[in-house]
Structure 1
C-alpha cells in the first residue's frame, strides 16, 4: 500500500508559490467556500463584463491568474517551464466556451492545431485538448444524439464539424502529440462519442493518439468502455481515455427529472467513486490496448491508482499512465506525484479574460458543490503558511 500521507507534504505542494501567491490562494478558496458569495460574485462579474466595466485588471490579478496560465500561449510559457522543472507537464487548454458561429469554431480548431504544432518539440507539453462544443453548436450534437432529422444546412454544418475533428486529429497524429477530447452533457455525448470513435479508428492504429473522456458519474460508462474495447480489438486500433468524475451533475439530474427519464448519473457519491475506480482498474488491466489519463482531484482514487500500478508492476514513469489536475487546484496531489516520479500534468486554461469567464464561473460553482474539496485546500494552505512562519 502507498503511504496515505504523501499528499500532506505542503512544502513540495506549494514550492512554486511565493508568500503573496500563497496568501492569494488562501483568500480565493476562502471566498469560494461561501456559496452565497460565489452566486453573487459570478452574477456581478458577468454583469460587469457584459456592460464593459473596467474590471478585467481586478479579475486578472485575482481569480484569473490563479486558475489560468494567461491570455495566450506565449503568456503561459513561463508557467509551463516552471512546472516542468518541478516534474509536472502541462496541457494548454484554450478555454473559450459557448460560441455559436462557424468562424469561431474554425478559429478554435486552428488554435488547437497551432497548439499541437507548438507542443511538438516540447517535452513539457505531451497533450493537446479541446471540447466538442468548441468545434460546433450544441444543438447539432444534440439533434444527432437524439436521432432527429437534420436539414440540408445542418448536414453541411455537421460535415464541417467532422472536418475540424479530422484536421485536428491528423495534426496530433503527425506531431505525435496525444489529443484529449473533453466530455460534455449526456444529451449530446453520443454524437461526440461516435465521432471520436471514428477518429480513433483512423488515427490510433499504432498507438493511442485520440483520447475520449469517460465521465464516471454516469452509470453506463463501464459497459460502454467494454463494448468499445471489443470493437477496437476487432478492428485493430488502440484506445485512449481520460477518466473524470464529471462536471454537470445538477444539470443532468434536473433535466432527467423534468423530462421524465432515468437519470444517467450514479445514485450516490459512493456509487460514482466505485464506478470511477472500476473503470480505472479495467483500463489498467488492459494497458496494452488502452492508455489512461486519470483526471481527478480525489485523493483516494490517486492513492488507489498508485497501488494498482505497484501491484501490476507498472513503472511510475510508464508513458501509458498519466495523472492530471486543474491548474490552481490540488497542488498537494500534482507536485507530490511529480516528485515521486509519476507522469502528471496540469490542465492550464488560457484565453482572453472575457472569453474564459464562463469556464472560471463553472469551476467556482463546481468547487462550492464538491463537499470537502475547498476545505481541504484551505487546511493545506494554512498548514504551509504556518510552516513558512516557523
Structure 2
C-alpha cells in the first residue's frame, strides 16, 4: 500500500463534484457554522420563520438544505446519487423526518422505508436502507420496555404494531437483498431496540448480514454488548450486521444522568471514546467472517486505522462485509479519496420536505459547532481547493 497518511489531503479528488459556486457555498456555510453565537441566532431565526410561515423555504433550500440533503423525495435525490456513484461513492437514503408521535405518522414512515427499499433494489448506487426505531413507534413505549415497566393494554397493542412494522421492513429488506441499518438512539430506550433488532437478526441474518444494529461507542458499555451479541450469534447461528459510530446524543445523555442522579453511560473523555471506538473496530474486523460492518466516522485517525487493520488481516478493499461511511455535505476528503482507492464507501443522504428536515439540519449545525477541529478542518480543505482552482 502506498503511504496512506496523506490520502485525505487530495482536495482535487475530494471536491471533484463541486462546481465553483458550490465550493463557495460550502466555504460560506462552514464559516457560519464555525461561529457558535451565529449558529444559535440562525437556529432561533429559522425556527421562528418556519413557525410564522415566512417565505424562507427557497433561501433554506438554496443554502443549508442543498448542502446537507439530497432532495425533498427519492426522485429529487437521483442526480446526487448518480453523480456520487460515478466517483465510486454509494448512497444511504435517510428519510430525516423526526419527532412524530402518532400512529398515522409511523405507518407513513413504514411505507416510506418500504418504498426506499424498492428504490434501492433498482439502483446499485443505493446498497443500504436505514430507519430509526422511534420512526416506528412512540419513544415512551420504547422507554417503558427498556425500563421493564408494565404497559397498559393500549400500549401493548402499540408495541405489537411496532414489532409488526419491524418484521415487515426486515422481511422486505431480506427479500430484496438490501442491507438495513437501524440507527441507535438514547440509552434509556436502546435496550428494547437492541432486543428487537436481535430477534430480527436471528430470523433474517442466517446466511449473511441483512439487519444491522448500531453501536454508539461514546457509551462505555457498548463494547460489552458487542461481545455478548457475538456469543449469541454463535449459539443461534446467525451473522451480525453492525454500524459503528461515536454517537449523537451526548449532551442529552449527560444532562439526563445528572438530573436523574445516575451514573452517565458516556465515556469519561474524548480519548476514552476514541479508544472504545477503535477497540470495537479492531474486534469486528478480526471477526470479519461473523460480523459485517458499516464504519460511520468523520475521524481521520479511525479511518486510517480501519485501512491499516484491513491490510494487516488481508481483508480486500472491496470486501462486501466492510463499508466506510460519512454524512453528505461533510468529510468529502475522506469519502471520495477512499472511494478513489477502491474501498466501499457510502454517504448518508438525508432527504424529506424542507420544513420537516429542519430539526435534523439544526442538529447537524450544532454538532459541527461542538466538535473541536471538525469545522476548521473542513474550512482548511475548502480553502486549499479554492486556491488550487485559482492557480
Q: TM-score range by the shorter chain?
A: over 0.9
| Secondary structure in structure 1 of the residue aligned to 2:295 | strand
CA RMSD of aligned residues (A): 0.7
Q: Which residue of 2 aligns with 1:202?
A: 203
- Work out the CA distance in 1 between the residues paired with 2:328 and 2:212: 20
| Secondary structure in structure 1 of the residue aligned to 2:292 | strand
Q: Which residue of 1 aligns with 2:299?
A: 298
| Secondary structure in structure 2 of the residue aligned to 1:129 | strand
Q: Give how far 1:258 is off.
A: 1.0
Alignment of 1:317-356 (within 5 A): 317-356=318-357
Q: Which residue of 2 aligns with 1:101?
A: 102
Runs of 4 or more above 3 Å deviation: none
Report Cα offsets for 1:254-300 as digits up to 9, x if no partner: 11111111100000000000000000000001111110000000000
- Work out the CA distance in 1 between the residues paired with 2:33 and 2:42: 10
Report Cα offsets for 1:183-213 as digits up to 9, x if no partner: 1110111111111111111110111000000
- Structure 1 segments unaligned to the other structure (5+ residues): none
Q: Which residue of 1 aligns with 2:77?
A: 76
Q: Give how far 1:47 is off.
A: 1.3
Confirm whether residue 122 of structure 1 aligns to residue 123 of structure 2: yes
Q: TM-score with structure 2 length normalisation?
A: 0.99
Confirm whether residue 46 of structure 1 aligns to residue 81 of structure 2: no
Q: Which residue of 2 aligns with 1:36?
A: 37
Q: Give how far 1:3 is off.
A: 2.2
| Secondary structure in structure 1 of the residue aligned to 2:122 | coil
Report Cα offsets for 1:51-81 as digits up to 9, x if no partner: 2111100000000000000000000001100
Confirm whether residue 379 of structure 1 aligns to residue 380 of structure 2: yes
Q: Which residue of 1 aligns with 2:367?
A: 366
Q: TM-score with structure 1 length normalisation?
A: 0.99
- Work out the CA distance in 1 between the residues paired with 2:257 and 2:241: 29
Q: Which residue of 2 aligns with 1:275?
A: 276
| Secondary structure in structure 2 of the residue aligned to 1:4 | helix
- Work out the CA distance in 1 between the residues paired with 2:330 and 2:248: 15
- Structure 2 segments unaligned to the other structure (5+ residues): none
- Work out the CA distance in 2 between the residues paired with 1:101 and 1:224: 31
Q: Give how far 1:123 is off.
A: 1.0
Q: Give how far 1:373 is off.
A: 0.2
- Work out the CA distance in 1 between the residues paired with 2:227 and 2:236: 14
Q: Give how far 1:121 is off.
A: 2.6
Q: Which residue of 1 aligns with 2:288?
A: 287
- Work out the CA distance in 1 between the residues paired with 2:191 and 2:41: 35
Q: Give how far 1:50 is off.
A: 1.2
